[in-house]
Amino acid sequence: MSMKLQMLQKPPVIFTQYEPERAISAEDKAFAKRHSNALPWLWLSYSRFVLEDNDPCMEPNNGIGLTIAYSLQYKELASLKVKRMDAHSYELKLGTASLFLTETEEGDVFLYFFTPEHYCNLREDRRLDLTGYSSDASAYFIATIFAAYDNVKQYSQSE
C-alpha cells in the first residue's frame, strides 16, 4: 500500500464590509447597550462576524511588528498612530478609534478592543485571535474593521 499526499490550496482571505445590522446580532446589541460604552462591544461583535466569515489561512503570523508594517501600507491607515505600550503590546489609533495588538511569548497574536492594561480585558471574549492569519492578512483585517468603525458608531447611536 502506498501513501498519497494531496495538497489543497485555500482561497485567498477576503474580509467583507457588512452593514452593522447584518453583522451584529440582536443579543450582542442588547448586551452592549447594558454597558456605559456600547461602541467597543458592538465593534468587537462586528469584527468577530467579519473574521468568522473566513477560515484562517493557516499561514504563520510573523508577529505584531510585521503586522503593523503591513498595516501602515494601507492608504486608509495613512494617519494610523502606533504607540508601544510594552514589549508585546501596541495601541493602534485612528481618529477616536483604538485597537490593541498583542503578542504572547509563544507567538500568538491577539487583537483587543479594550486596553489590555486592565486584567479583566484580557479575557478570551474580549479579543480576536489572529494567530492563524498571516501578518499581511491580519493587516488587511485591521484596515477592514477600521474602515467600518464609523458605520458601527452610527449604529450604536441608533434607537
Q: Is residue 98 part of a domain?
A: yes
Residue 129 burial by CB count (10 A; 0-12/13-18/19+): exposed, middle or buried? middle
Q: How many whole angstroms separate alpha carbon 22 and alpha carbon 30? A: 15
Residue 116 lies in a domain: yes
Amino acid 134: pLDDT: 92
- In terms of residue numbers, what domain contains 134? 57-157
Tell whether the torsion through CA atoms of 36, 79, 109 and 145 is positive or negative. Answer: positive
- pLDDT at site 131: 92
**Phi, psi angles (nearest 5°) of residue 55:** -85, 145
Of residues 86, 84, 82, the one with CA closest to residue 98: 82
Q: Is 67 part of a structural domain of the chain?
A: yes
Say if residues 134 and 66 touch (Cβ distance below 8 Å). Answer: no
18-64 pLDDT, tens digit each:
999 999 999 999 999 888 889 999 999 999 999 998 877 778 889 99
Residue 75 in domain: yes
Report the distance separating Cα 114 and Cα 107, nearest Å.
20
In a domain, 20, yes or no: no
